[in-house]
Structure 1
């Protein structure tokens, strides 16, 4: 109690006594805002490998293209997308060996034409698979050559169409661009969060979507997490998210009446009725209490300094 009287403190003539209390330890799920931005990877602009009349476009803006997608027809024959680290540079035919044959075989495996393990050797089973592919896509009923003209390279992964560039009915030449693609997001960059510890497990929340985040890494790289954050950003390249510690942090808590701001702009608490100044840097002020550093937990501080101290200078 602030005065030994049953009367109102405003009417009592008895002096107000100092009230002391400990800095209590409280657990808080600490969080802070952080700017996030999408770091785009390289985009690919697929080109054709043959000349002729573009008789149809089979994709349009926003379509997702992957290995096996028919993207166009040239002279009535289908042009099919394939993925690999590097584009093919020659037609694939009987007797050939090499990494490009492996690429062709992996493509045929993905589409269900080739059942064996890719070995880089164009033999009878590869020839049969190529013939089946050509027959289905209009490249001849007895053709066992996988022609570059029947394929279009879309990079190592699938892509999304930004804009179609081919005009149906016009003549295309090798090297003509069919469509542009949207650069796939590679990572999500996260700005430093000085209010939180420099390292440790945390979570990043952007527009209601939460993914794991490691403090200090400044980036989210997991493919699923990147995809989730990018979707939450709905086409924006920059946004503001919230980084939250995975484990609650411990901090001190004192009644707001114990904290003083002096004319010089300093903030402190007092451990004694005279002297005993402790400079503090409050981190939050909620429900009548002020959050202070964990190092003050257990210290006894003056709860009513304004009523019992003549000097409220924090120096």
Structure 2
């Protein structure tokens, strides 16, 4: 009888150990399955990002021209040339100006526009579609259209209106240094405000109306409701919107290229235009690679700063 009892206890302990081992094996199998799904992503990351990045870093220290298989190490010559080339420095400056200006202005305009579009009024769907429409065509097409609208000649659309209504002579919208920069930024803001307003509108529609009803009962004014309820709840949307705006602003190429061609002079040159012109069109791949490396570092620094600031604002609004 004692032997049978001992045997039953041994079997019970073995069954308990086996039952405890099964969940462990099951979790291990799930982890391996999950990691297996990450393998294609890792392969794509290595092949399409890390390998080209390593090659770019290597080419940035050479005189590689693309047409000849031979290349020689030249040290930091390409980097020194970048920081002494006026076209590169001007392109970098205007790129940062465009990215920061469009991000700030679009944010300031898109949030109140989203609040207005969130209200009920006749033709609301049509108005939403009208504001979203500029985001449908490509920036290159919009640049070509606005080239005719902002033409510095008297035949331009805006100059024709100014001349017929106010007798004002042709305004050099695209031929004056300052006006050309302002024109590119204004067109960029016009093209992106509607899309980002729809982004904020999607977040607004998920906000319960109870918050505003309770605030109204407590005597809060519309202005107080906007700054105490709407803005804090839109903080995550602001992070996403500003991140996208900065990325698009830093890599902008098609709008300034079709609108002003980078002129007058180099005043509306962008860093991507310099990279394409100098690195690809002129066949100086070593200089283009060095410019790409510097541009990547600058973009990473700007986006890291933006994410840090917006996350700090999110914590402050909570």
Determine if the TM-score, normalized by the shorter chain, exceeds 0.5.
Answer: no
Provide the TM-score with structure 1 as the length reference.
0.19
Q: Bigger relative contact order, structure 1 or 2, given CA contacts below 8 A and separation 6+?
A: 2
Provide the TM-score with structure 2 as the length reference.
0.19
Higher strand content, 1 or 2? 1
Larger Rg, first or second structure (1 or 2): 1
